[in-house]
Amino acid sequence: MGKLSLFAISLDNPAGVYYAGSMIQGHVTVQLNESMKMRGIRLNIEGKARVHWTERHREGRHRAHRAGHRHHVHRPGHVVGNSDFRHYYGDEQYFDQDILLHGIWPSQCSNTTELHQGVHTFPFQLQLPAGLPSSFEGQHGHVRYVVSCKIDKPWKFDHKTKRPFTIISILDLNSQPSYMQRLQASAEKTLCCLCCQSGPITATFSLDRQDYVPGEAIGLHADISNGSSRSMDKSYVDLKMDLGLPEKTLFRLWIEPATSWVVANILNIPTQTVINSITPPSYNECITGKVDIRDEDDDHTYGELNFAPAYTYYNWGHSPAPLPAPLPENED
């Protein structure tokens, strides 16, 4: 079993969800089967973002490249045929705080102290910076916050453990009056052309406003008219996440076809968890599963090494108000 039987980080909020600017508190537990010599026990709380993608560059052609936030690093990749796959990276550090829980700092000296057999608890707390972006895990990048702890043993292998947590950035939508304005768009399409041109297929789609929060219902209104001689097989509304990368469809609402119809329906935004409540699986976890957050040097690291952010929502407890009538068409 070895000397170390337990090395874990516990947070005061078991769900591990915090608002930007709040206080994060917790403790580190070290359980030893026998005494252990060490220089110290150090805690690190870090928040950072990273993006990474690859692009194919054919010889003799010039292509525009997307740059990562602030820092753009170009690293040629492997060549397949006449194409060169190149990797692009971007990193941003939000904060990086070290806390000494026991012993001394590495810069002081290489002397060791002895931590006796038994269970030892080391509390910690840190005021998180305000204005932090919300946690995010995606295919091409992440915004990640992690508490990690190390038992520093000079000239020997260190023991490490880590605990990721979620940050929620507060955005007051009430401070933006334009978000409360109704949103409407129309489109028209005809089939074939010239003498065979069909009557128009038109659609007008509207939302009662432009901003919503997780757990809230989106009230939508669709007015669809099929003036062609062909029947429509399907019609649907997609809720998509746009990250400037390939879009991800979060939800699809199917609309039954007819010659002409008006649809008033409710599209529920996927909900997550409320801070300090029992945490259900997050949307990310349900769709893509948890992400492996191991770093290159985490082969022998304890703790939670698979993670998916958990986002807060408000349980409204009621259906949205009736939808307003469609906007009048613009007169010429």
Which tens digits make up the pLDDT trace of 77-103?
433 344 577 888 889 999 999 999 999
Token pair 């492997």: residue: 78
Region 284-306 average pLDDT: 79
- Both 12 and 111 in one domain: the answer is yes
- Both 27 and 119 in one domain: the answer is yes
- Comparing 160 with 199, the larger pLDDT belongs to 160
- Mention every residue, 6+ apart, whose C-beta is less than 8 A from residue 132: 20, 21, 47, 94, 95, 145, 167, 169
* Segment 171-192, tens digit of pLDDT: 777 777 887 888 888 888 887 7
- Mention every residue, 6+ apart, whose C-beta is less than 8 A from residue 169: 19, 20, 131, 132, 133, 134
- DSSP string for residues in 117-135: SEEEEEEEEEEPPTTPPPP
Query: How many domains is the chain partitioned into structurally?
Result: 2
What residue type is assigned to position 97 of the chain? Q
Residue 36 near residue 148, CB atoms below 8 Å = no
- Both 264 and 277 in one domain: the answer is no
Q: How far apart are CA 303 and CA 8, in angstroms?
A: 6
Q: How far apart are CA 136 and CA 51, in angstroms?
A: 11
- Both 107 and 219 in one domain: the answer is no
- Both 187 and 287 in one domain: the answer is no
What residue type is assigned to position 90 of the chain? G
Residue 121 has pLDDT above 80, yes or no: yes
Q: Are strands 159-168 and 141-152 parallel, antiparallel or unpaired?
A: antiparallel
Q: How far apart are CA 178 and CA 160, in angstroms?
A: 49
Residue 55 has pLDDT above 90, yes or no: no
Residue 228 has pLDDT above 60, yes or no: yes
Evaluate whether residue 124 is within a structural domain. Answer: yes
Evaluate whether residue 69 is within a structural domain. Answer: no
- Domain boundary (220, 249, 268) is at 268
Other C-beta atoms within 10 Å of 33: how many? 13
- Whole domain around residue 163: which residue ranges? 4-54+88-170+273-307
Kind plus residue range of the DSSP H or E element containing 287: helix 283-288
- Domain boundary (215, 248, 268) is at 268
Residue 117 has pLDDT above 90, yes or no: yes
The token pair that represents 232 in the structure block: 């429509």
Evaluate whether residue 59 is within a structural domain. Answer: no
- Both 125 and 36 in one domain: the answer is yes
- pTM over 0.85? The answer is no
- Comparing 280 with 64, the larger pLDDT belongs to 280
- Both 286 and 152 in one domain: the answer is yes
Evaluate whether residue 236 is within a structural domain. Answer: yes
- Both 197 and 303 in one domain: the answer is no
pLDDT of residue 31: 95
Residue 214 has pLDDT above 70, yes or no: no
> Where residue 329 falls among pLDDT bands split at 50, 70, 90?
low
- Both 132 and 185 in one domain: the answer is no
* Residue 9, φ and ψ in degrees, nearest 5: -110, 125
Burial class (CB in 10 A: 0-12, 13-18, 19+), 302: middle
- Both 39 and 108 in one domain: the answer is yes
> Where residue 273 falls among pLDDT bands split at 50, 70, 90?
very low
Q: How far is CA 224 from the centre of its chain?
A: 35
Residue 23 near residue 128, CB atoms below 8 Å = yes
| Angstrom distances, CA of residue 276 to CA of 24, 45, 137, 164, 166 | 13, 21, 22, 16, 12
pLDDT of residue 270: 47
Q: How many CA atoms lie within 13 A of 87 on its CB side?
A: 10
Q: How far apart are CA 235 and CA 225, in angstroms?
A: 12
- Both 231 and 289 in one domain: the answer is no
What residue type is assigned to position 229 of the chain? S
Residue 149 has pLDDT above 50, yes or no: yes
Residue 59 has pLDDT above 80, yes or no: no
- Both 264 and 196 in one domain: the answer is yes
* Residue 38, φ and ψ in degrees, nearest 5: -155, 160
